[in-house]
Amino acid sequence: MANPVAAPRWRFREPNVLPGFRLALGFTLIYVSFILLIPLAALVARPWENGLDGFIATLLDERVLKALRLTFSVSFMAAAMNVVMGLVITWALVRYDFPGRGILDAMVDLPFALPTAVAGIALTSIYAPNGWVGGLFSPLGIKIAYTPIGIWIAMVFVGLPFIVRTVQPVLQEFDAEVEEAATMLGARPLQRIRRVILPALWPAVITAFSLAFARAVGEYGSVIFIAGNMPYKTEIAPLLIVTKLEQFDYAGAASVGLAMLILSFTIILLVNIIQLLLSRRGLK
Amino acid sequence: MKTSAPRRPDAAAWALILLALAWMALIVLLPLVTVFAEAFSKGFEVFKTAIVEPDAQAAIAMTFTVAAIAVPLNAIFGVAAAWLIARFEFRGKGLLLSLIDLPFSISPVISGLVWILLFGASGWFGAWLQAHDIRIVFAVPGLVLATMFVTLPFVARELIPLMQDQGSDEETAAVTLGASGWTTFFKVTLPNIKWALLYGVLLCNARAMGEFGAVSVVSGHIRGMTNTMPLHVEVLYNDYDLVGAFAVATLLACLALITLGVKTILEWRFADELAASRRH
């Protein structure tokens, strides 16, 4: 006799009266395979043309190493800056009522909406030595465009909305009673922020940081105009892929691309682990 | 639970607000203003000439062609994926969800590179394509494929959380009462998701028309043939035709502003009918 409490039989889908499962599944899988999976398989398969040694030799090339280091370090600094200023902007948007608040809120999404090439040429003309802002700094001997500072500014531009849009809903939902309780228990404003509000925001801030960071690492359009693209100095990793493709070095281009993906995903994974540890500590 | 309502700022708060406004003005507003200032710096006639010039017109037409193919396809995909993920429980759903999100975290250059690795001269299918005289990369199909790759998540990402929130009660009722699958979809599901669908299509379209990195890799920059508007901006800029570059850029900036305007209206007017949790 069958045991009625035996573990449920393994099944691919739970029963449901709604129609269209096979059609939707078939269409979705075929679409995802053709548009995402097969192309990505080509990326994963390509670097090994000259074996593992070829892959490693490509990455250990001085020029590739410099480009990867520049891309990841400037992306990190841009995301860090965005966390600071993003929190200031989010705080102003959520906590205070001031004239122009609606416009400020809508403007936050502009870097998402503005095509990257447009942002790129605009930033370049602002920060070039004869530009509106670049012109203020060039008499002091400080160059912004065509240096890593210019790359950093472009990455700050594209990353800003990720911070605001990730932290905003969390800050909006933050329980005001907890804050009031802290005030009544004698916490000063800065103590309140440091001890009560920031710990609650950390998970969102870390998520936002990793989104802005990932975006900056892959960014191309807004960076290449302002970067100057000098090999070993201001050449970013995505540009190196383009350069290798132009030399018909498919395996080399795929190697750099795959390395970028692996590095990005490793960093995002690490960030998620840190986030998990932080939230566990918060629960205790 | 009480959430904190925005309040009138005090002196310290004003300092914070001014800092926020100043940073936004410097980082976000200044580039936007620059686009228009540079485009009209030599007067309206020069601006107009740059827009009506044949290569610019060809680039505008190419941008609309690519978006007209890529956006509807990704919209259909988004609806199918949302129906699948929000209405059925099946193994591997989490994996499929992360897969759909993947293009968001991949560099646009890599999104173009993968198509060269498939269809380029020494790509997987390169020799076969050459033998049959079919052009994919450095031609319109490549531009469409690269754009589809980059914009694949937009509609799906908007619809999935919304349809999960709404639940399947209404559709189950319709089907139980004898409505066919398609009738249920067009009479029950579609009216419930129409604003979210429009929202997703709007963002998908903005990205499709403005995409630069991915199409730059697959286009080959053949003027009047495979240049979209963002690529045309680059070509003009590298030719030191600054006014021309910024003139075409104003059209893209206007597209961005219109997108933001419609998006704000949708969020304000139909907040309940859009996905509550949104990342982009």
Q: Contacts of residue A259 in chain B, CB cutoff 8 Å?
A: none
Measured in residues, chain A has a length of 284
pLDDT, residue A283, reads: 52
**A130: CB partners within 8 A, 6+ apart:** A138
pLDDT, residue B10, reads: 80
Could you list the pLDDT tens digit for every one of the 284 residues in chain A?
Answer: 445 555 667 788 887 889 999 999 999 999 999 999 999 999 999 999 888 998 999 999 999 999 999 999 999 999 999 999 999 999 999 989 888 898 999 999 999 999 999 999 999 999 999 999 999 999 999 999 999 999 999 999 999 999 999 999 999 888 777 777 887 887 777 787 777 888 888 889 998 999 999 999 999 999 999 998 999 999 999 999 999 998 889 999 999 999 999 998 888 788 878 878 877 765 54
Chain B's closest residue to A92, CA to CA, is B17
Whether residue B222 has pLDDT greater than 80: no
CA distance B95 to chain A (A): 12
**A192: CB partners within 8 A, 6+ apart:** A179, A182, A183
Say how far apart CA B35 and CA B18 lie, in whole Å: 24
Optimal mutation site among B34, B42, B73, interface A, most CBs of chain A within 10 A = B34
> Which of A178-182, B173-177, B224-228 is modeled with the greatest confidence?
B173-177
Say how far apart CA B255 and CA B261 lie, in whole Å: 10
Choice among A256-260, B133-137, B274-278 with the minimum mean pLDDT: B274-278
Say if CB A208 and CB A83 are below 8 A apart.
yes
Residue-wise pLDDT for B111-124, tens only, equals: 999 999 999 988 89
Smallest Cβ–Cβ distance between B212 and the set A16, A101, A117 belongs to: A117
Whether residue B205 has pLDDT greater than 50: yes
Contacts of B268-273 with CB under 8 Å at 24 or more apart are B270/B195, B273/B162, B273/B192, B273/B193, B273/B194, B273/B195, B273/B196
Residue-wise pLDDT for A100-152, tens only, equals: 898 999 999 999 999 999 999 999 999 999 999 999 999 999 999 999 999 99
- CB atoms under 10 Å from CB of A146, counted, come to 21
Residues B110 and B223 in one domain: yes
Examine residue B257 and state whether it is found in any structural domain, yes or no: yes
**A55: CB partners within 8 A, 6+ apart:** A47, A48, A255, A258
Residues B67 and B92 in one domain: yes
Examine residue B76 and state whether it is found in any structural domain, yes or no: yes
The DSSP 8-state label assigned to residue B194 in this structure reads H
Question: Does A242 contact B at CB distance below 8 Å?
Answer: yes
The three-state secondary structure class of B103 is helix
Residues B95 and B25 in one domain: no
- Chain A, residues 62-81, CB within 8 A of chain B, namely none
Domain that holds residue B23: 10-39
Examine residue B2 and state whether it is found in any structural domain, yes or no: no
Q: What is the largest CA-CA distance in chain A?
A: 91
Domains of chain B: total: 2
Say how far apart CA B110 and CA A245 lie, in whole Å: 11
Query: Strand locations in chain A, DSSP E?
Result: none
The three-state secondary structure class of A15 is coil
Instruction: With CB atoms and an 8 Å threshold, state whether B24 touches A116.
Output: no
Chain A's closest residue to B35, CA to CA, is A122
Say if CB B261 and CB B268 are below 8 A apart.
no
Say if CB A119 and CB A216 are below 8 A apart.
no
Mean pLDDT of B159-175: 92
Residues B227, B230, B234, B235, Cα dihedral to 10°: 20
Residues B32 and B171 in one domain: no
Say how far apart CA A32 and CA B200 lie, in whole Å: 18
Say how far apart CA B173 and CA A18 lie, in whole Å: 10
Query: Among residues B275, B87, B76, which one has the least CA distance to residue B181?
Result: B87
Say if CB B200 and CB B155 are below 8 A apart.
yes
Residue-wise pLDDT for B22-58, tens only, equals: 999 999 999 999 999 999 999 999 999 999 999 999 9
Examine residue A10 and state whether it is found in any structural domain, yes or no: no
pLDDT, residue B1, reads: 45
pLDDT, residue A1, reads: 46
Mean pLDDT of B86-92: 92
Domains of chain A: total: 1
Examine residue A40 and state whether it is found in any structural domain, yes or no: no
Say how far apart CA A255 and CA A252 lie, in whole Å: 5
Residue with tokens 């097969």: A38
Examine residue A112 and state whether it is found in any structural domain, yes or no: yes
Residues B238 and B166 in one domain: yes
DSSP character string of A170-190? HHHHSBHHHHHHHHHTT--HH
pLDDT, residue B280, reads: 39
Say how far apart CA B61 and CA A247 lie, in whole Å: 30
Instruction: With CB atoms and an 8 Å threshold, state whether B24 touches A104.
Output: yes
Examine residue A21 and state whether it is found in any structural domain, yes or no: no
Instruction: With CB atoms and an 8 Å threshold, state whether A165 touches B175.
Output: no
Six-digit token pair at B72? 């509807």
Cα distances (Å, whole numbers) of residue A1 to A4, A7, A9, A11, B78? 9, 15, 16, 22, 46
Examine residue B3 and state whether it is found in any structural domain, yes or no: no
pLDDT, residue B220, reads: 77
Whether residue B6 has pLDDT greater than 90: no
The DSSP 8-state label assigned to residue B271 in this structure reads G
Examine residue A249 and state whether it is found in any structural domain, yes or no: yes
Domain that holds residue A200: 61-283
Whether residue B234 has pLDDT greater than 50: yes
Residue with tokens 């995002």: A268
Say how far apart CA A78 and CA A255 lie, in whole Å: 25
pLDDT, residue A280, reads: 74
H or E element in which residue B254 lies: helix B242-269
* Interface predicted TM-score (ipTM) of this complex, two decimals: 0.91
Residues B26 and B93 in one domain: no
Say how far apart CA A196 and CA A190 lie, in whole Å: 10
Whether residue B160 has pLDDT greater than 70: yes
Cα distances (Å, whole numbers) of residue A17 to A44, B163, B170, B175, B197? 40, 17, 12, 7, 24
pLDDT, residue B149, reads: 97
Q: Contacts of residue B121 in chain A, CB cutoff 8 Å?
A: 248
Examine residue A173 and state whether it is found in any structural domain, yes or no: yes
Instruction: With CB atoms and an 8 Å threshold, state whether B113 touches A109.
Output: no
Predicted TM-score of the model (pTM): 0.91
Residues B26 and B137 in one domain: no
Say how far apart CA B94 and CA B106 lie, in whole Å: 19
CA distance A161 to chain B (A): 9
CA distance B183 to chain A (A): 11
Residue with tokens 């559709």: B171
